[in-house]
Amino acid sequence: MLNKIYKDLFDLNGIAAYENEVRAYMRKFMEQYPNYEIVTDNLGSIFARKIVDPALPTVMVAGHMDEVGLIVKQITNKGMLKLLNAGGLNGEIFISQVLNVHTKKGIIKGVVGAIPPHMKTTQNTSIEDLILDIGATSKAEALEFGVELGNMVLYPNPFNYTANKKRVISKAVDNRFGCGLALEAIKYFHNKELPYNIVIGATVQEEVGLRGAETITNLINPDVFIALDASPVNDIVDDSGFGKLGSGFLIRMYDPRNIMQKSMLDYFTNLAVKNNLKHQHFLSMGGTDAAKAYDLNEGTLATTIGLPARYIHSTAAMFDLADLEEAKKMLFLVLRKLNPKVIKKLKEENRWLH
C-alpha cells in the first residue's frame, strides 16, 4: 500500500499562491529531522538543506506544492461566480461538476453551469464560459456567504484505490507525488553521509510559470537539479505513444524548455539499465521546474524523474503504484551514486561534447 504521506498530500488543497496547507505539512515533516536546516524563499518554497562543506557541489531535489485549479474572478449581480484558471485547464472538464469555494468563513459548494449548447456558436467550452452557481440569489448574498474575489476554487475528489489496489485515483497527483517523494528522501537520507550538499523540498507556483523554481534556484545555486513531477500519458488511446502506466518511471529526454543534456541522458539511462529499474524515455510539450533551473546562473545540470499519470490537469488523475516505486528507487540510486567527481565529469562532458 501507498505511504500515508501521499494520501495526506493529495487530500490537501493548494493552487499557486495558496500552498499554505501543503507547506505547513512539509515543514512539520522536515522538523522531525534536525540534521537539516529548513530554507525558504520569499515566494514560499520550502526545502530541507544539509551542508557537508560549502566548497562541495550542491544537489537539489524538488517537487512542487501547487495543483491546478481555479479562482473567483467576478461575482455577477445574480450571485453567480465567474472563474479564472490557475494552471493549464480545459473548460470541458468542469461542466456539471460540484466545486468547493474556499472562503474565510469556510467552504461553499457550487455547481458549474455553462452556456447551453444550442445557444453557442461553437461546441468548445472555455473557462470563460463557466458559471459557478452557489445558490445565491444576488451579489449581496454571495458576499454574505463569504465569497471574495481571488478565492480558491477546487474539486473535492477524494483519494481512492482502484479495485485491484494497484493504482490510485486522486486530485493533485500533479504534483503532490513529487512532494511525497521528496519527503521520503528527506527521511531516508537524514542520517546518511553524502559527499555533497543536499537540498530537498518543494517549490511554489510551478503551474503558472515555474516561478518558485527560479527564486529558490537563485537562492541555493545548485550544481544538479532534479525535479520530481507527474507527466501526462495517453496510453488508453495510443499504445505507440510515449509513456504507459505500469512500465516504470519516466526519463524526460525532451520538453520545449529542457532538452536533456547528453551526459545526463546517458548517465540516467545507464544507471537504470545496470540496476534493472523499469524506465521509459519520455517527451512532453509541457515543462517542469527543471526547465527553469536548466538555464539559470551559468546553466545547471537539470532533469526530471517523472511519474506517468493519466488525466493530469483535470479534476482527478490515475497512476500505478509500481511506477512510483521505480521512481523512488531511481531517485535514491542517483543520490547514492552522485559525487563531486561524477558531477564534474557530467559538466565537462557537456562543455566538450561535439
The catalytic residues are 206
- Spatial contact of 130 and 76, defined as CB atoms under 8 Å apart: no
What the block records as the C-alpha cell of 108 is 461553499
Could you tell me if 218 and 296 are in contact, meaning their C-beta atoms sit under 8 angstroms apart? yes
Cα 103 versus chain centre, distance: 24
What is the rounded distance in angstroms from the CA atom of residue 245 to the CA atom of residue 231?
Answer: 11
Ramachandran region, residue 236 (left: φ > 0; alpha: ψ -120 to 50; beta: rest)? alpha
Dihedral sign computed on CA atoms, order 241, 266, 328, 179: negative
Alpha carbon distance 24, 353 (integer Å): 44
Neighbours of 237 (CB within 10 A): 6
Give me the residue label for grid cell 547528453. 262
- DSSP H helical segments within 44-200, as ranges? 139-145, 173-189
Neighbours of 165 (CB within 10 A): 10
CA 77 to CA 229: how far, in whole Å?
Answer: 41
Tell me the C-alpha distance between 206 and 15, whole Å: 10
d(CA 161, CA 152): 27
How far apart CA 326 and CA 221 sit, in angstroms, is: 28
Enter the C-alpha cell of residue 197. Answer: 550538499
Q: How many Å from the N-terminal Cα to the C-terminal Cα in the chain?
A: 47
d(Cα 312, Cα 290) in Å, to the nearest integer?
19
Q: State the DSSP string of 236-274.
A: TT-TTSS--TTS-EEEEEEETTEEPPHHHHHHHHHHHHH
Cα(319)–Cα(162) distance, rounded to whole angstroms? 10
Q: Measured between alpha carbons, how far is 28 from 30 in angstroms, rounded to an integer? A: 6
